[in-house]
Structure 1
Amino acid sequence: MRRYLAVGIDSYLCLLSVGLLVRSCLNSGGAGHAVALLVVQLVTLSFANQVLLTLAVRASAGKLIMGVRVIRLPDAGRPGFRLLVRRWLYGLLWLPRQPWHRLHGPAAAGGPDRAPGRPSEAPEDLAGLRQVRRSDLRAYRAALRGPTG
Structure 2
Amino acid sequence: MRRYLAVGLDAYLCLLAVGLLVRSCLESVGTGRAIALPVVQLIGLSFANQVLLTMAVRASAGKLIMGVRVIRLPDAGRPGFRRLVLRWLYGLLWLPLQPWRRFLRDPAAVWGPERPAGRPVEAYADLAGVRQVRRRDLRSYRAAVRGGAHGPVPRGD
What TM-score range do you get, normalising by the shorter chain?
0.7 to 0.9
Shift of residue 32, structure 1, vs aligned partner: 1.9
Alignment partners' CA distance in 2, 1:120 and 1:106: 21
Superposed displacement of residue 123, structure 1: 5.2
The unaligned stretches of length 5 or more in structure 2 are: 149-157
Whether the aligned pair in 2 keeps the contact of 1:3 and 1:63 (CA below 8 Å) is yes
Contact 1:68–1:134 under 8 Å retained in 2: yes
Identity %: 79
Which residue of the partner structure matches residue 125 of structure 1? 126
What do the CA deviations read for 1:55-75 (whole angstroms, capped 9, x no partner)?
A: 000000000000000000000
Residue of structure 2 in register with 1:144 after alignment: 145
Secondary structure of 1:126's match? coil
Please say if residues 106 and 116 of structure 1, whose CA atoms lie closer than 8 Å, have aligned partners that are also in contact: no
- What TM-score do you get using the length of structure 1 for normalisation? 0.86
Hey, what's the Cα distance between the residues in 1 that align with 2:20 and 2:74? 40
Q: CA RMSD in A?
A: 2.4
SS at match of 2:18: helix
Gap change, CA 1:7 and 1:117, over 3 Å in 2? farther
Could you list the per-position Cα deviations for residues 71-117 of structure 1 after superposition, in whole angstroms to 9, with x for gaps in the alignment?
Answer: 000000000000000000000000110111232339999xxxx5279
Cα deviation, 1:99-149, whole Å, max 9, x if unaligned, reads: 11232339999xxxx5279665375210000000000000000000117xx
- 31-40 vs 100-109, which deviates more? 100-109
Aligned length: 143
Residue 69 of structure 1 aligns to a residue in which SS?
strand
Gaps of 5+ in 1: none
